[in-house]
Structure formats: C-alpha cells, structure tokens
C-alpha cells in the first residue's frame, strides 16, 4: 500500500513538472438563438422632476416605480431579460431626443417580430386636440407637438 501511494505521488509530482504545452484559448461564441424562442427587450422610462413644469406638477414615485420595473425585468424570477437588453432612462436622461433614439433606433435594430418588447413609461402624459403624448423630462406643455412623444408614433414604432 505504501509503495502504491509512493508511485501515485511520484506520478502526480512528475505530471505537475511537465513543460507547458502550446494551448490556444479560443473565446466561446454565444449560443445561437433557436428559432421560435423569443428574446426580450425593454425600454424603461421614469421621470419625476420635470425641467419645465411647476413644482405642483412634479411627481413623487415615478422614478422609483421605473427602478422597480427594471429590477423585475432583469430578475430571473421576473422577466429574466438580460440586463443589456433593458435600457433605462431616468430623470434628466429621459429627454425627448433620448426617448426617440431608444424607441426609433435601438429597439427596431435589435428586436425581431417574435421577440417580447416592453415599453414602460412612468411619468406625465398629456392630451391635446384628442392626441395623446408621453412627457419626457424636457417637455414644454405649451409646445407638446414639438417637445412630447406622440402616442400615435409609439403605436407606429411598435
């Protein structure tokens, strides 16, 4: 038994002293998405304090609501969306230009027809002349057509 133990220890020791081999590390490729398996993408927008609204019109919980939705979507027990697939605009980052870019450029560039797409907006909305608008951080309520995001456009994009 002692002789067998000595032989095993010698083998392990000699094996550990071998010259290094020429190994090439090749990065793994991401697994391809199987046909029919939808991916998930989301845009989360939360605005509480608006640049151009009176203090009485500011909101209290919309940004924390958006934070909660983000956490649910990326949680494996929630939406199980990959974090890189969930874009989050909050506060002063939720400008009309940024909202427009995310909705009209990013989402169409990544999402396929079978994918799950969620747009969550926590903030003010306005209705003018029968048309609905989402209010980004830099909205001017006196110039909605120029500074707010039309709901009709959202419907077209999605």
Averaged pLDDT, groups of 10, the chain, 158 residues long: 38 44 55 64 98 96 96 91 96 98 96 93 96 97 96 91
CB count within 10 Å of CB 21 equals 5
What is the spatial distance between Cα 43 and Cα 28, in angstroms, rounded to a whole number?
29
Any idea what the CATH number is for the domain that residue 123 is in? 3.40.50.1460
**Confidence (pTM):** 0.75
CB count within 10 Å of CB 104 equals 15
37: its two tokens = 């398996």
Q: Is residue 33 part of a domain?
A: no
State how far the alpha carbon of 124 is from the alpha carbons of 8, 18, 58, 65, 121, in Å: 73, 68, 9, 13, 9
3-state SS, residue 89: strand
pLDDT value of position 23:
55
Report the domain count for the chain. Answer: 1
Q: Is residue 9 part of a domain?
A: no
pLDDT value of position 38:
75
pLDDT value of position 36:
56
Q: Is residue 26 part of a domain?
A: no
Asked if residue 150 lies in contact with residue 99, where contact means CB atoms within 8 angstroms, the answer is no
* Range(s) of the domain holding residue 147: 40-157
């Amino acid at each position: 038994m002692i002789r067998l133990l000595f032989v095993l220890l010698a083998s392990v020791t000699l094996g550990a002293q071998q010259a290094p081999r020429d190994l090439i590390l090749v990065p793994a490729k991401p697994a391809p998405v199987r046909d029919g398996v939808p991916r998930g993408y989301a845009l989360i927008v939360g605005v509480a304090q608006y640049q151009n609204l009176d203090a009485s019109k500011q909101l209290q919980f919309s940004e924390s609501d958006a934070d909660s939705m983000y956490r649910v979507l990326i949680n494996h027990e929630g939406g199980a969306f990959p974090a890189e697939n969930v874009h989050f605009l909050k506060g002063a980052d939720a400008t009309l230009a940024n909202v427009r870019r995310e909705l009209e450029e990013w989402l169409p560039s990544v999402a396929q027809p079978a994918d799950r797409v969620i747009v969550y907006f926590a903030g003010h909305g306005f209705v003018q002349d029968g048309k609905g608008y989402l209010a980004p951080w830099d909205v001017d309520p006196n110039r909605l057509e120029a500074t707010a995001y039309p709901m009709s456009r959202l419907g077209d994009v999605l």
